[in-house]
Structure 1
Amino acid sequence: MGNLQTNLEKYADLILRAGLNIKPGDRLMLYINQNSLPLAREVTKRAYQLGVDGVVNRFTDGAFTRALLEHGSETALTWVPDWQIQHDISAFEDNCHRLSIYAEDPQLLKGIDAQKISARSKATSMANRPVMRYTLENRVKWLVVAAAAPEWAQTVFPDLPVETAVEELWRLIFKATRVDQNDPIAAWESHDKSLKIHEKWLNDQNFASLYFKAPGTDLIVRLPAHHIWKGGSAKTAKGEKFIPNMPTEEIFSMPHAYGVDGTVRATLPLSLRGSLIDDFSFTFKDGEIVDFSAGQGEDVLRELLATDEGAGRLGEVALVSVSSPIYQSGVLFKNTLFDENAACHFALGAAYSENILNGATLTDEEKREQGMNTSMIHVDFMIGSAELDVTGRRADGTEVPILRAGEWVI
């Protein structure tokens, strides 16, 4: 892997310059835990070198969360102070941009009552809706990255000693984010251009619907009339470029919330709320999940779908080729940031405003009328494989192959 410290410095520089496109005068808010502190410290140092006016952090710890869910009262489980929400809103209004560093244990909450997890998640999701708008509507620059953590590494590599597992996970993170290349920023500029080629082609096609076919999957996904495909870099309402996820290999848009019919089978496990959901599938009618099953974690999945009316509908459709370096690695990361960039996927819950024309200015009622899903959740699940075919259908019935055996046709 080379020198970890050198790679952390390169990673921090990449995050700030290519990911968040930090400018002098910007401010930065970090969402971190104890495992992400080494990277967070490098990010903070580099941010000040680049001229930011301030760095603040929102710190959490897995043990805190587990203690709350194991021993907290009903009142404690649902307590999300308004001053905490106002803190985040005030920060974003004060030119703070958001960096989330994932370094969690995928099975942190294993054995915890699913109803307790759901109650806590629902309370935090509800309270944070005003905060979520800043990222869902790209009002600020925001980015999600990952840092290796011992618990995560041992989940991915259970047969390796913990130190070796952490080293291997860091190696894969640096490879997926192109930190291991001589000029990571130039590598990301080239990658972004490639993603934009697919983005433009899909937008030019203006498909009315998509058809997904694979073992266990036979699904029609209608698209809103004014849907927009996005991939790679995004722009804020003020026109500032940023990259929301590192790594990223997806081109994504918005399904019509009431236009999904058929059955879809997940091809990778989903790490959710500290639990693992595996071997699961959904059946849709008129956009709504009318049946589902899971070989593992069905109780957690049931609670997720009960979050609100939009939780049982789709908010995102994303296309990823199996030539993705993450898919080619053959590693199951048990982490959505990585696994979603290994395979085509959908998301349950909220859609992104950038995926529909003038989405940031639409009222909630106008969004619903145009087929945009709203929800307190946004949870990705993977459905791609080398057996998946995706076909685009135009309004006149013309069919155009998009993916065959998991690979781009274009």
Structure 2
Amino acid sequence: MHDPRIDRLATVLLDHSCELKQGETLLIEAIDLPEPDLVCALVEGAAARGVTPLVETKNQRVQRSLLANATETSMKLSGVLERNRMEQVQAYIGIRGAANASQLKGVPADRMDLYQEHWLRHVNEYRVPKTKWVVLRYPTDSFAQAADMPTHEFEDFFFDVCTADYAAMRVAQAPLVARMQAAEQVRITAPGTELEFSIKGIPVIPCSGERNIPDGEVFTAPVRDSINGTIRFNTPSRYQGVVHNDICFTFKNGQIIEATSTETERLTTLLDSDEGARYCGEWSLGTNNRVRHPMLDTLFDEKIGGSFHLTPGNAYEEADNGNRSRIHWDLVLIQRADYGGGEIYFDGELLRKDGRFVPSDLQGLNEGL
């Protein structure tokens, strides 16, 4: 039986996220999808709008084999071929099923570095600034398991969150954007966390369904050398197939000088992958109050209501602090009372306490929290 929720999601992706126009070309990349329904809906929807659809399907087991046997030559050639294809399109939709989110665990770090540098980064340096793009997950049994939910309940949650009223979300985010644009100094407290940095002069970007589904964040970047103090993240994070818990960083003049987690050796290897990996390229406040708890998936976890994320690695061009790295790793700290609480100050003024915004003009962001 056809699921009408898939049609609604396809409409959001085609019209809101990519804003497709007649005569454009759309690349749909599907990874480990259990069924083709969403891809078919996107193909048919694109064609009906006068857009040329292209489809690429991938399998993470095959990708693991490619990466485990990577050479500089194979990664460079893969990067060139995929970038050439990306340069032929105006829009990109990436759908990731992740049948096994740990599929890349155990791939040697030096092979992953080759992939990040010569393939992924080479493609993304074009895709991110030059195309209209959006990425999302797809509801699978393993995804539901990571969220600690029965599959049917998770599917209801997934489609509800992913087809939110993103136009209304952008209106609610506007006062926060204005406050972040005016702010210079940020101070953050939480259990195990006392951190300060500047965001002066860095652009502020609201996200309401244009690049990620689900969405709900407002991001900027710390001034590269301004972070000082310690932060202890209370949300587990999966990166390159490895799950890290209890990540703790100490910063001095922007640089991570101490780092520990349940996978400290792997963490250190990541932070030593290049100079920029020990500096941060993004800081963002989560504003999607329908997402409440972590599920080991960055696209959801970084949007959690009452959270923020801080990102070792590459800065986005839209909010650029000059940091460059082959990694970009969003790490989440939830500050709601049920996760230990915490405070955020802008230039000495209390902006958010225990996950709830304090100023009167930001009360719209507390709805449903």
Superposed pair shares fold, TM > 0.5: yes
Match of 1:217 in 2: 193
Residue correspondence of structure 1 range 224-239 to structure 2 within 5 A: 225-233=200-208
Letter in 2 for 1:341: K
Deviations 1:25-49 (A, max 9, x none): 1111122213263322221221111
Alpha-carbon distance change, 280 to 392 in structure 1, aligned in 2, over 3 angstroms: same
2:211 equivalent to 1:244: yes
Conserved 8 A contact 2:313-2:329? yes
Give the distance between the partners of 1:344 and 1:260, measured in 2 at CA. 15
Give the distance between the partners of 1:15 and 1:32, measured in 2 at CA. 14
Conserved 8 A contact 1:257-1:315? yes
Question: Tell me, what secondary structure is at the counterpart of 1:8?
Answer: helix
Deviation at 1:282, TM superposition (A): 0.6
Alpha-carbon distance change, 144 to 302 in structure 1, aligned in 2, over 3 angstroms: same
Residue correspondence of structure 1 range 278-289 to structure 2 within 5 A: 278-289=245-256
Give the distance between the partners of 1:246 and 1:407, measured in 2 at CA. 23
Deviation at 1:244, TM superposition (A): 0.8
2:288 equivalent to 1:339: no
Conserved 8 A contact 2:29-2:55? no
Conserved 8 A contact 2:30-2:58? yes
Residue correspondence of structure 1 range 9-408 to structure 2 within 5 A: 9-35=7-33, 37-57=36-56, 59-68=57-66, 72-73=68-69, 76=70, 78-104=72-98, 105-110=100-105, 112=106, 116=108, 118-128=109-119, 129-136=121-128, 138-157=129-148, 165-178=150-163, 187-203=165-181, 205=182, 207-223=183-199, 225-233=200-208, 243-295=210-262, 297-321=263-287, 324-327=289-292, 331-342=293-304, 343-356=307-320, 371-386=321-336, 387-393=341-347, 399-408=348-357
Deviations 1:188-239 (A, max 9, x none): 2112222233213322x2x22211111111001122x421111125xxxxxx
Alpha-carbon distance change, 108 to 93 in structure 1, aligned in 2, over 3 angstroms: closer
Deviations 1:215-273 (A, max 9, x none): 111001122x421111125xxxxxxxx70111112111011121111100111100111
Unaligned segments of structure 2, at least 5 residues: 360-369
Deviations 1:351-373 (A, max 9, x none): 111114xxxxxxxxxxxxxx421
Give the distance between the partners of 1:301 and 1:26, measured in 2 at CA. 42
Alpha-carbon distance change, 298 to 65 in structure 1, aligned in 2, over 3 angstroms: farther
Letter in 2 for 1:22: L
Letter in 2 for 1:119: D
Q: Which has the higher contact order (CA 8 A, sep 6+)?
A: 1
Letter in 1 for 2:318: E
CA RMSD of aligned residues (A): 2.2
Question: Tell me, what secondary structure is at the counterpart of 1:133?
Answer: helix
Deviation at 1:120, TM superposition (A): 2.6
Letter in 2 for 1:24: Q
Match of 2:364 in 1: none
Deviation at 1:319, TM superposition (A): 1.2
Letter in 2 for 1:401: L
Aligned length: 350
Match of 1:368 in 2: none
